[in-house]
Amino acid sequence: MGQVLSSALDSAGRIRSWLLNSGIQNLSRDRRAHGGFSAWYELDSDLYPFLYSEITGYAITTLVYLHTLKKDPLLVERAEQAAEWLGRCARLPRGGVRTRYYLVPHYETPNYSFDRGRVYTFDTAIVGYGLLQLHKVTRKRLYLKWAREMTDFILFKMARPDGLFHPYYDSRTNRPGEDFEKWSDQAGSFHAKVALLFIDLWRQTGESHLKDAAGRLLRACLKLQKASGRFVTNLEDDSTHLHPHCYTLEGLVYAYHHLGHHELAAPLRRGMAWLLKAVGDDGSISTFYKNRRFDFHERSDIVAQALRIGSLLYGLNVYRTPGLSSVLERIRRHLELFIYRRPSGQKGGVLYGAATDGLVRMHLNAWCGMFAIQSIVMHESFVGRKRKVSLEHLI
């Protein structure tokens, strides 16, 4: 077992090195770009197509998380550069966060453009949560101020009467919007992860309305869970994309742990049990469920998310069915297959996999790498070494 654990942590170390040294974080002298993280690196065209605010938020949390594992001032320095880019270039006066800054013009999609695109509730929450993690280690009040602005934007501009949130604010019409072609463009259970922002801001300020907001949101999300355990992520066709299904479980487990909402244990168990139905004998995981069947495509962020939530629920003793540890080990070994190993400046990046159209995307993906690091470390800690769960800096 010791050799297995050592191998897993070696994999996490390779991904860490890629995040710091590959160029996925823009370190140019261009103030419009310096500090931001690209969504991915394209192997076949040698391009970083765009900087992504949501992913830069994840990156801040990742860097702080890595710093807590092994103190390194470079990690905090890079996190601050990322935060400064967000504050300088992506943060809007109304409190929301712009989506993508395109480095390659022909990639630009109007809905996501910095200049005229949508401002997403989810992206804003991920950035705000990252800033709170950075505030914990630097104690710089500016990061807390920005996170509070983003929280207020979500609570006072994006709230819906049913307890969920509008998915985006349209900067062209100056009003919230929703459409149903994509799971992220509609209100849904994946907004359970938005509760991380409310919970951590409550933990830092003690303001009870934030705790109440998290509870109200999670109760609304639970209404979208089927008896089978799956969360519907597209309301038009009753389908489930496993990426936002995992986001939902991440929000629920965070509230279970930090708010003591133990009534969430049952929906967490059902959600995890359903998720495991998508796992193949080799540890592979389907991406999509529709018309009572799973597809055969997969992407590495879902593999990492499944490993992470499974390791957390195992460590918290919320879900420990016979054979679970063996399934999680298969998933972990399968996840390592996505790590790019060819000798180059991109060694250690994590391949994305295939989109729902079945076509493989030949890029090394930033958030897949970030999720993979945390899932591998959590699996080693909570399943392999049976350590007590410490749920901070959830990427």
Inside any domain, residue 248: yes
* 104-134 per-position pLDDT tens digit: 988 999 899 998 889 999 999 999 999 999 9
Inside any domain, residue 63: yes
* 168-180 per-position pLDDT tens digit: 999 888 899 999 9
Q: Work out the pLDDT band at 1, boundaries 50, 70, 90.
A: very low
**Tokens at 312, concatenated:** 């957390």
Q: Work out the pLDDT band at 2, boundaries 50, 70, 90.
A: very low
- CATH code for the domain in which residue 58 is found: 1.50.10.10
Q: Work out the pLDDT band at 252, boundaries 50, 70, 90.
A: very high
At 32, the amino acid letter reads: R
* 5-22 per-position pLDDT tens digit: 456 778 889 999 999 999
Inside any domain, residue 237: yes
User: What span, in angstroms and rounded, lies between the C-alpha atoms of 331 and 287?
Assistant: 14
Q: Work out the pLDDT band at 201, boundaries 50, 70, 90.
A: very high
Q: How many domains does the chain have?
A: 1
Inside any domain, residue 391: no
Give pLDDT, residue 6. 55
